[in-house]
């Protein structure tokens, strides 16, 4: 069964012995990157080579949680390698680890763009030296390490879980209870802040929706109902269709009248020019066609009686010189 260990990853807002540190503004970067990192153990003769190479064969577990407590970033790791579990539990390996991180830069004593890559168990840490180390990285970033102690908080061995507990009953000490309460309070404070932010965002969205609804209601009050619009469109369509039908019928009637007029004039040997009748309506042309159609030519064509609108007849004769009918 895997054991779980936890401890301080690194402090915030504290200038170390080398004259630089990680500002509080990097807390989120540190926490999010820690949660995606791994737990390693490097060879004794090269205690940090596996960090720089990020050797997957050196991995003995993974980071399961990271959080902030006051001015420190804490981390919790699950040890999944059975040999590593045994050596941690029996004390072969000291309870110390080194946090290996990358930073974009160090300006005015403060690192920025901090990305935690791994927690590495270390042997015989040089505590009298600076707790932070800086090394170059191939991609131009700054590689840093910090050494802290961790503790076993859960394992498959009940005896191991409680062997360092001064309380024989296994209950947490007052200091541990206080630390746990402070941790819970910090988490609750963060939850409260998150809820406040969510509430503000929700209120803003509600205000925006209310404005949209008000605008919609205003438009609705001044707009024409859909049924009325459909009625007006249908009425206008009927009006246009009726006008087109009337115009079409009038055009057909006029064409028919012109055909009748042309035929009547042809019977009288008269030429018909359509443009001469453009100003006349269909009924006028029909009247002319009817009048001319009633004229009957005799065999001698000497005398012709023309109809008139008064019903009175007129007498005419065919002028062979002019080649037309003349009225006398």
Look up tokens 């190479």; give the residue.
53
Task: Give me the pLDDT at residue 43, please.
Answer: 76
Tokens (6 digits) for 306: 């023309």
Picking from 285, 284, 282, the residue whose alpha carbon sits closest to that of residue 272 is 285
Q: In whole angstroms, what is the distance from residue 17 CA to residue 2 CA?
A: 36
pLDDT tens for the chain, residues 1 to 328: 578 888 888 888 888 766 778 899 989 988 998 998 898 888 777 767 787 778 888 888 899 999 999 888 888 888 888 888 888 888 888 788 888 888 888 888 888 888 888 888 876 543 333 344 444 444 555 445 555 666 666 555 433 444 444 443 445 566 666 777 777 777 788 888 888 888 888 888 888 888 888 888 887 777 777 788 888 888 888 889 898 998 888 889 889 988 988 988 888 888 888 888 888 888 988 888 888 888 876 544 455 555 544 444 445 666 777 777 776 5
Contacts 24+ apart (CB under 8 A), 78-87: 78/2, 78/3, 78/4, 78/39, 79/2, 79/3, 79/4, 79/5, 79/39, 80/2, 84/41, 84/60, 84/121, 85/2, 85/3, 85/155
Task: Give me the pLDDT at residue 31, please.
Answer: 92
Q: In whole angstroms, what is the distance from residue 204 CA to residue 220 CA?
A: 24
Could you tell me the CA-to-CA distances from 149 to 123, 203, 245, 306 in Å, in that order?
A: 11, 46, 99, 135
- Interacting residues of 190 by C-beta distance below 8 A, sequence separation 6+: none
Sheet containing strand 324-327, edge to edge, reads 304-306, 314-319, 324-327
Task: Give me the pLDDT at residue 159, please.
Answer: 37
Domain boundaries, the chain: 3-164, 168-223, 229-294, 296-328
pTM given for the model: 0.41
């Amino acid at each position: 069964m895997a054991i779980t260990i936890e401890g301080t990853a690194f402090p915030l807002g504290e200038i170390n012995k080398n004259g630089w540190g990680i500002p509080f503004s990097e807390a989120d970067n540190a926490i999010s990157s820690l949660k995606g990192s791994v737990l390693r153990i490097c060879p004794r003769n090269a205690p940090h080579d596996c960090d720089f190479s990020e050797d997957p064969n050196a991995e003995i577990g993974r980071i399961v949680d990271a959080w902030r407590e006051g001015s420190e970033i804490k981390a919790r790791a699950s040890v999944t390698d059975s040999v590593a579990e045994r050596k941690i539990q029996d004390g072969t390996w000291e309870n110390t680890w080194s946090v290996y991180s990358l930073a974009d830069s160090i300006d005015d004593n403060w690192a920025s763009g901090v990305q935690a890559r791994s927690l590495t168990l270390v042997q015989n840490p040089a505590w009298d030296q600076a707790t932070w180390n800086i090394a170059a990285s191939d991609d131009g970033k700054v590689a840093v390490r910090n050494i802290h102690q961790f503790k076993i908080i859960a394992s498959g061995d009940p005896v191991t879980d409680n062997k360092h507990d001064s309380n024989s009953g296994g209950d947490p000490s007052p200091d541990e209870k206080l630390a746990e309460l402070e941790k819970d309070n910090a988490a609750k404070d963060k939850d409260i802040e998150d809820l406040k932010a969510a509430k503000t965002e929700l209120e803003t969205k509600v205000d925006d929706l209310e404005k949209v609804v008000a605008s919609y209601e205003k438009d609705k009050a001044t707009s024409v109902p859909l049924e009325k619009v459909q009625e007006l469109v249908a009425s206008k369509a009927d009006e246009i269709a009726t006008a087109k039908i009337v115009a079409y019928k009038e055009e057909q009637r006029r064409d028919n009248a012109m055909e009748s007029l042309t035929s009547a004039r042809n019977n009288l040997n008269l030429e018909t020019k359509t443009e001469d009748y453009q100003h006349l309506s269909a009924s006028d042309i029909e009247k002319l066609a009817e009048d001319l159609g009633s004229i009957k030519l005799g065999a001698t064509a000497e005398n012709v009686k023309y109809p008139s609108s008064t019903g009175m007849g007129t007498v005419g004769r065919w002028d062979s010189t002019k080649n037309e009918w003349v009225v006398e």
